[in-house]
Amino acid sequence: MPDNTELPPPPPAPPTPPSASPAVGPSGLPYPARRRRARWLPSLVWLIPIVAAIVGISLLVNTILSRGPEIDVTFRTAEGLTPGKTPVRYKDVEIGLVKSVRLAEDRSHVIARIDLTKDASSFAVADTRFWVVRPRLAVSGVSGLETLLSGAYIGVDIGKSAERKVAFTGLEVPPVVTTDASGKQFVLRAQDLGSLDIGSPVYYRRVRVGQVVAFQLEPNGRDITLRVFVDKPYDKLVTANTRFWHASGVDLKLDATGLKLQTQSLVTVLLGGVAFQAPEHSGGAPAAAENTQFLLAGDQGEAMKEPEELAPTLAVLNFDQSVRGLSPGAPVDFRGVVVGQVRSIGIEYVRDKKAFRMPVVVELYPSRMGFRERDVAEEAQKRTIVETLIRRGLRAQLRTGNLLTGQLYVALDFFPKAGPAAVNLDASMPELPTTPGTFDELQAKLGDIVNKIDKVPFEQIGQDVRTTLASLNRMLDNADKLVAQLQGDVAPQVLSAIQDARKTLNTANGTLASDAPLQQDTRRMLQELTRTAASLRALTDYLERHPEALLRGKAEKQ
């Protein structure tokens, strides 16, 4: 059987002096010698992971230190956005990267998480704007063509606010004007947008100096507010006297004053635009402050109208003729000068006359007619002036302003032969007398001519003409018979007479020829007559000298 009793531990060996031999135990074996353990040194194998760990820690620390703020930007769609690839650029410098793109809980938009760089932390402010740069064709031109090769990226327009923000709503289209652009914005109020759009040009004397940056419909539903940006240094040209007007497309107007065609440039014909200018006679005025409001007129003529010194006066003109061709806005003319315009046209039934009349409400400008405030300051003085003019024959008349379109205008003029007219100046709207237009007079004269023409007995005249034509036919038949008779009886005799006459002429030609005997005899006779005349002249001279020769005869020479 084995002995399970434990043996007592051997007694500790006595310390062995350094110079002594090792101690021997009870079993005769020497005790092991004790030595102090040497210091541990690492192996070179551990150096590589240590260096790698140091490099990794430094990179991590550098990434953490260089990492900027993390922001969320909301877009309508994720078109062109790729996590880890789509950069964020400001002036073509990358300042961030799209980290992730996720769908919102209501599935109406997407949220892009963007990591900005450390030096781009100033972009995380309240008025910073973000948008996706893609190829776009807009009114302002074509943009984003470089993304066809490089891919879409997120553009940034840095804000100036001091409020920090990490959640933004991205723009669907790039902003027309960035915050670093130099210039001023102005507000325009208009009744109609026309063909204007964001990016439409703004012109000054046909030079492009800005563009439309925004527009919106006012809560009242009648007015439209536009914001235009004018580049520096042209913003100094906008003063308190500046007038803005629509320069959109082709401004073609055909009215009672004629045909008018105005346009700024080919771009405005296609895209529309706004133009501004100060009146030529306006003095120098300081530049307008930013966000100053102006009225946007329909055209240049309307914008450059001078402000009226006196308030306009309304009057009613009752015409008994047709007002076809007269429209609201038609001019009221006084001897070639526009002194007002037509406000409205109506129709009224006159019960006592059992007839209709056309009341035309006009707007008259006293200052355009030469009146001053002192002339119309008192009601009695104003009444006296109007009554005096009416007694002198002042009347309103409808006249044709354009024969091509038939448009009418109201003409004020003096008609000395016009009869007296009753005028009611005490009504809320004074009534001015009228006279029939020249076109109506022409129609009346034409009517009289037509009535006279109707009284002409055209049927009896036709019968007489037919009788005359029958007599003329009979006369022509008789003339034909007479000509035929003449050709049969008289023609041979006439031919014989002509032949005899021809013979007589031939005989006369032979007699009068230069070598004819008659011509020679006549020549000799004339020569004899010449010699006879010379002899008579000599005889006459001799008798004048010797008259006694008639009694005694010619004396012989000694």
Q: Is it the case that residue 7 has pLDDT exceeding 60?
A: no
Supply the pLDDT for residue 9. 54
Top-ranked range on mean pLDDT: pick from 229-238, 247-256, 266-275, 321-330: 229-238
**End-to-end Cα spacing for the chain:** 249
Collapsed DSSP state (helix, strand, coil) of residue 6 = coil
Nearest-CA neighbor of 346 among 355, 354, 356? Answer: 356
Residue at token pair 């629509």: 246
**What's the whole-number mean pLDDT along residues 507-515?**
70
**Residue-wise DSSP of 324-372:** TT--TT-EEEETTEEEEEEEEE--EEETTTTEEEEEEEEEE-GGGGT--
For CA atoms 479, 484, 489, 490, the dihedral sign is positive
Nearest-CA neighbor of 437 among 399, 409, 405? Answer: 399
**pLDDT digit string, tens, across residues 437-469:** 766 666 667 777 877 777 778 788 888 888 888
Token pair for 64? 């953490």
- Rounded distance between C-alpha atoms, residue 306 and residue 101, angstroms: 59
394: phi then psi, degrees, rounded to nearest 5: -70, 125
Token pair for 75? 């877009």
354: phi then psi, degrees, rounded to nearest 5: 50, 50
Q: Which of 167-181, 199-213, 504-518 has the lowest mean pLDDT?
A: 504-518
Q: Is it the case that residue 185 has pLDDT exceeding 50?
A: yes
Q: Where are the domains of the chain?
A: 61-169, 183-303, 313-450, 517-549
Q: Is it the case that residue 116 has pLDDT exceeding 60?
A: yes
- Assess contact for 395 and 434: CB atoms under 8 A: yes
Burial profile 413-448: b = 16 or more Cβ within 10 angstroms, e = fewer: eeeeeeeeeebeeeeeebbbbbbebebbeeeeeeee
- Rounded distance between C-alpha atoms, residue 412 and residue 313, angstroms: 15
- Rounded distance between C-alpha atoms, residue 330 and residue 339, angstroms: 11
Q: Is it the case that residue 487 has pLDDT exceeding 80?
A: no
- Assess contact for 104 and 74: CB atoms under 8 A: yes
Collapsed DSSP state (helix, strand, coil) of residue 207 = strand
Q: Is it the case that residue 5 has pLDDT exceeding 50?
A: no
Q: Is 555 left (phi over 0), alpha (psi -120 to 50) or beta?
A: beta
Give the full edge-to-edge strand order of the sheet including 110-117. 129-133, 153-157, 87-90, 93-103, 110-117, 67-75, 167-169
- Rounded distance between C-alpha atoms, residue 359 and residue 348, angstroms: 7
Length of the chain, in residues: 558
- Assess contact for 386 and 396: CB atoms under 8 A: no
From residue 43, give the alpha-carbon distance in Å to each of 40, 47, 97, 485. Answer: 10, 8, 43, 162
- Assess contact for 238 and 231: CB atoms under 8 A: no
- Rounded distance between C-alpha atoms, residue 363 and residue 312, angstroms: 6
From residue 233, give the alpha-carbon distance in Å to each of 61, 203, 209, 361, 443. Answer: 49, 14, 9, 47, 62
In the chain, what's the furthest Cα-to-Cα distance?
251
Q: Which of 62-71, 129-138, 381-390 has the lowest mean pLDDT?
A: 62-71
Token pair for 496? 């014989």
Strands (E) in 54-176, as ranges, are 67-75, 87-90, 93-103, 110-117, 129-133, 136-138, 141-143, 153-157, 167-169
- The mean pLDDT value of the chain amounts to 79
- Rounded distance between C-alpha atoms, residue 185 and residue 225, angstroms: 13
Say which residues have a Cβ less than 8 Å from residue 325's Cβ, sequence separation at least 6: 400, 405, 406, 407, 408
**pLDDT digit string, tens, across residues 324-370:** 888 888 899 888 888 888 999 999 888 888 888 889 999 888 888 77
Token pair for 382? 């104003």
- Rounded distance between C-alpha atoms, residue 72 and residue 167, angstroms: 5
- Assess contact for 211 and 140: CB atoms under 8 A: yes
pLDDT band of 101, cuts 50, 70, 90: very high
Supply the pLDDT for residue 121. 86
For CA atoms 284, 288, 293, 294, the dihedral sign is positive
- Rounded distance between C-alpha atoms, residue 149 and residue 159, angstroms: 29
Supply the pLDDT for residue 2. 44
Q: Which of 113-117, 133-137, 235-239 has the lowest mean pLDDT?
A: 133-137
Q: Which of 118-132, 201-215, 411-425 has the lowest mean pLDDT?
A: 411-425
Token pair for 476? 């022509």
Residues 492/495/499/505 CA torsion (nearest 10 deg): 150
Collapsed DSSP state (helix, strand, coil) of residue 153 = strand
Supply the pLDDT for residue 3. 47
